[in-house]
Chains A and B, each alone.
Chain A
Amino acid sequence: MGAKRILETSFRIAWKDLKELSRNKLGLLMLILMPLLMMAMVGFIYPSGSSIDMSNLKVQVVNLDTGFMDMSVSGDFASAVNQINSASVNLAFSDGTTLDVLVDSIQRGEIDAGIVIPENFTYCVLNKQQANITIISDTSNPQVSQQVSGVLANIIESMSKQVAQSNLAAQLNITSAQAASYMAPYNVSSQGVVEGSSSYFDFIAPGLMMMTVMMSVMTGLPGAITHEREIGTLDGVMVAPINRLSIILGKTLAQLTRGLMQGLIILILATALFGVTIHGNILLVIGLLLLGVFSFVGLGVALTSLAKDQESASMMLMAIMFPMMFLSGIFFPVKMMPGFMQTISSFLPLTYASDALRKVMVLGSGIPQIATSLAILIVFGIVMLAIAVPLFRRMMTR
């Protein structure tokens, strides 16, 4: 009874498990629905720069300008602001009347922010003074407030730059490019290592894939084995003259296939619906998912061996999975966590797995760039298996 027979029986067991799964209609549906829900939820709840819908935000423009010498330039200004807005972020603009009304509307929650053009606007513009535009926002909602005032400030700043640039060019009789270099001698442009910008989905998709695949092994493996033990079929498998290793292998293989399927569903959803692009090698992506699973098989098997029944297995899983979900930098970057959290995070294998996958998918890294993470995952997997297999053997002959 050599390695060939062990593999053969493993495949047999995996095939049987998958066949059972394929006949479980509800299970199959959940298999597809779970990643979809996950993706949709995290994708829509967490606001990201481009995904937040600005047209929901209402901005009132209050023009208090009284004019100067029968002239008024504030109307032109307001319509220019409006134009830039509708060409870019498309906030919902409306005209206001007085400052008090604006404040009142914000307090009522009817308006998210306001632009106030001061009384002396035309005077200042015509008399070569700086005109002070005030942005008032709903600070009871810091995220929105920050976002809106930022956007509005940007609009107004870019307008004032344009005006200044053309004024300067006219004054000094130079080209507007020259005028721009006088105004801002240093220009900043930032870019990633690959072309295009990345959204929150680009950040979250790799972590989510890795987490789903690992979870399905961690929950699926103990689930499958304790379930079979409870209904009694495991005895039937164990009285057959097979190596017990092939039970672990076979079950893992089945769960792996299931997890990989879920991972790929996430990948397809992420690319098709949420505009995620894979910059790295797709084979490396799949390879990494497999490695992630490998590093977690041991933990799954160990849990199976320690848990007496399905219920306690799932309780133990929850205790391990929950912190891991939040501390492994899947939803929130590890580097932005407080120091001690970062330390905890550095002990979790999921941190390395999802980080490596993210580097490959977003930055197009190859194996050399993620070697450290790979090494950690391999070592973790081997150590856990070395602990788990004896535990499993002991459990089997209890």
Chain B
Amino acid sequence: MIEVKNLTKVFGKFTAVDNISFTVKKGEIFGLLGPNGAGKSTTLRMLSTLARPTGGVATIGGCDIVKNDTKVRNLLGVVSEKMIIYERLTAKENLWFFGCLFGIPKEKLHKRIDELLDLVNLTQFKDKQVGTFSTGMRQRMNVIRALLNEPQVLFLDEPTLGLDPQSSVEIREFIKKLNQEKGTTIIITTHMMLDADLLCDRIAIVDHGKIIALDSSVNLKKATVGANTSIINLGITNLNLDMIEKIKTLPCVGAVTQEGETKLRITVHGEDAFDQIIDQVRTLNGKISSIENLQPTLEDVFLHMTGRNVRDSVESKVLVHTRRMAKMPVQRGR
């Protein structure tokens, strides 16, 4: 459905997207995962004909994104990171406006708008100005706006960004349903591991404008955690910085991340890793409250592939979301 070959985008001296290639099959949910500034959004912008590639080619449904851009636009639904809705218009007026831009006949558009509003439970708010909506409601509006033209391909740029967990779940379920019922091909960009993990058939991990890994979630995890490596969650009631540093120096320990005041997430190698860590904590007079052997998450995959944590990328935009992301593993643990 989508074929991308050597796609490149250069802004001045900065190469945002560096020679990337991938294909997305019809009916697939494809994830572009990476920290902010990795080039995910730029890739999507190029594919949605909003930015002109500096090099390379891409086709959607057989149409070239540069030469045949109008045809491509007819196939597409785009949910961008910034919400595309006018606050001073009502829900219905918003949808009507965008529907008209797609040249949908009036009768059909009326039906379509009612259908879509019903689908996301916004029917009773259809004559309210969108400015009065909650963030979750807006995002639902934002998504159904992209579905007006019954797109064969849907692009979602950070669809759960800034949403509370419940709204995120709703959006995710909606995307999944759409994919299953209508067979819509979907590309999602996200820096939320959870999104990618739960939704995507295949995931491309993007860093510095390049795809560094591309596989299914399961396979990516397998590649990260071998027979010799595992990930543990260690609870220490009197955890302190000194203790963390000491644990980091152990030869069997890979990456260490602190999650909450008393929890550490540690990647370990070797058979006697557990013993080594417990010994170390004991000699430091640490009180161990729990040890868990965890399934690796995409977070770990990313860490493994890039040597960096997703949340480490120093950018203001990321910082805002760091706090929320820190909570995610806790949810996962349950």
Main SS class of interface, B: loop
B88 / chain A contacts, CB cutoff of 8 Å: 19-20, 23-24
Cβ-based interface call for B215 (8 A): no
Cβ-based interface call for A161 (8 A): no
B227 / chain A contacts, CB cutoff of 8 Å: none
A233 / chain B contacts, CB cutoff of 8 Å: 82, 84-86
B95-107 vs A, Cβ < 8 Å mask (1 yes, 0 no): 0011011110000
Find the A residue at minimum CB distance from B145.
A236
Cβ-based interface call for A41 (8 A): no
Find the B residue at minimum CB distance from A9.
B101
Q: How far is the CA of A364 from the CA of B70 in the complex (A)?
A: 50
Q: How far is the CA of A12 from the CA of B94 in the complex (A)?
A: 12
Which of B83, B85, B101, B103 counts the most A-chain CB atoms under 10 A from its CB? B101
- Do A397 and B97 have beta carbons less than 8 Å apart? no
Cβ-based interface call for B89 (8 A): yes
Shortest CB distance B132–A (Å): 12
- Do A19 and B84 have beta carbons less than 8 Å apart? no
- Do A398 and B84 have beta carbons less than 8 Å apart? no
Known: A5-B103, A20-B88, A240-B73. A397 touches B52 (CB 8 A): yes
A242 / chain B contacts, CB cutoff of 8 Å: 101
- Do A241 and B83 have beta carbons less than 8 Å apart? no
Cβ-based interface call for A16 (8 A): yes
Instruction: Tell me which of B51, B80, B81, B97 contacts A12 (CB under 8 A).
Output: B97
A239 / chain B contacts, CB cutoff of 8 Å: 48-50, 73, 76, 78
- Do B103 and A241 have beta carbons less than 8 Å apart? yes
- Do A241 and B86 have beta carbons less than 8 Å apart? no
Known: A19-B88, A23-B129. A241 touches B80 (CB 8 A): no
Known: A1-B70, A239-B78. A20 touches B86 (CB 8 A): yes
B129 / chain A contacts, CB cutoff of 8 Å: 23
B42-59 vs A, Cβ < 8 Å mask (1 yes, 0 no): 000000111110000000
- Which bracket fits the contact residues of B? 20 to 34
Cβ-based interface call for A238 (8 A): yes
Shortest CB distance B47–A (Å): 11
- Do A236 and B100 have beta carbons less than 8 Å apart? no
Find the B residue at minimum CB distance from A243.
B70
- Do B85 and A235 have beta carbons less than 8 Å apart? no
Instruction: Tell me which of B52, B76, B89, B101 contacts A20 (CB under 8 A).
Output: B89
B196-207 vs A, Cβ < 8 Å mask (1 yes, 0 no): 000000000000
Q: How far is the CA of A236 from the CA of B49 in the complex (A)?
A: 11
- Do A19 and B78 have beta carbons less than 8 Å apart? no
B71 / chain A contacts, CB cutoff of 8 Å: 241
Known: A397-B50, A397-B52, A398-B51. A240 touches B98 (CB 8 A): yes
A240 / chain B contacts, CB cutoff of 8 Å: 73, 98, 101-102
Cβ-based interface call for B93 (8 A): yes
Instruction: Tell me which of A9, A20, A232, A397 contacts B80 (CB under 8 A).
Output: A232
- Do B80 and A237 have beta carbons less than 8 Å apart? no
Instruction: Tell me which of B51, B52, B93, B98 contacts A236 (CB under 8 A).
Output: B98
- Do B89 and A236 have beta carbons less than 8 Å apart? no
Q: How far is the CA of A192 from the CA of B48 in the complex (A)?
A: 63
Q: How far is the CA of A239 from the CA of B29 in the complex (A)?
A: 21
Q: How far is the CA of A24 from the CA of B88 in the complex (A)?
A: 8
Q: How far is the CA of A19 from the CA of B88 in the complex (A)?
A: 8
Cβ-based interface call for A231 (8 A): yes
Find the A residue at minimum CB distance from B85.
A233
A241 / chain B contacts, CB cutoff of 8 Å: 70-71, 73-74, 101-103
Find the A residue at minimum CB distance from B73.
A241
B175-204 vs A, Cβ < 8 Å mask (1 yes, 0 no): 000000000000000000000000000000
Shortest CB distance B84–A (Å): 3
Find the B residue at minimum CB distance from A394.
B52
A237 / chain B contacts, CB cutoff of 8 Å: 101
A16 / chain B contacts, CB cutoff of 8 Å: 86, 89, 93, 97
- Do B100 and A9 have beta carbons less than 8 Å apart? yes
Instruction: Tell me which of B70, B73, B81, B103 contacts A232 (CB under 8 A).
Output: B81
Find the B residue at minimum CB distance from A238.
B50
Q: How far is the CA of A16 from the CA of B93 in the complex (A)?
A: 9
Which residues, 4 to 23 on B, are CB-close (under 8 Å) to A?
none
Find the A residue at minimum CB distance from B131.
A23
Known: A9-B100, A233-B86, A241-B103. A397 touches B81 (CB 8 A): no
Q: How far is the CA of A297 from the CA of B81 in the complex (A)?
A: 31
Which residues, 25 to 77 on B, are CB-close (under 8 Å) to A?
48-52, 70-71, 73-74, 76
Q: How far is the CA of A41 from the CA of B293 in the complex (A)?
A: 77
- Do A235 and B80 have beta carbons less than 8 Å apart? yes
Q: How far is the CA of A211 from the CA of B101 in the complex (A)?
A: 33
Shortest CB distance A51–B (Å): 41
Find the A residue at minimum CB distance from B129.
A23
Known: A19-B93, A233-B85. A12 touches B100 (CB 8 A): yes
B85 / chain A contacts, CB cutoff of 8 Å: 233, 236
Shortest CB distance B250–A (Å): 47
Find the B residue at minimum CB distance from A240.
B101
A398 / chain B contacts, CB cutoff of 8 Å: 51-52
Shortest CB distance B147–A (Å): 13
Q: How far is the CA of A5 from the CA of B89 in the complex (A)?
A: 23
Provide 9 A-B residue pairs closer than 8 Å at the C-beta atoms, listed in order of the A residue.
Answer: A5-B103, A12-B101, A20-B86, A23-B129, A232-B81, A239-B48, A240-B73, A241-B101, A397-B52
Known: A232-B80, A240-B98, A240-B102. 4 other contacts (CB 8 A): A19-B89, A19-B93, A236-B78, A241-B70
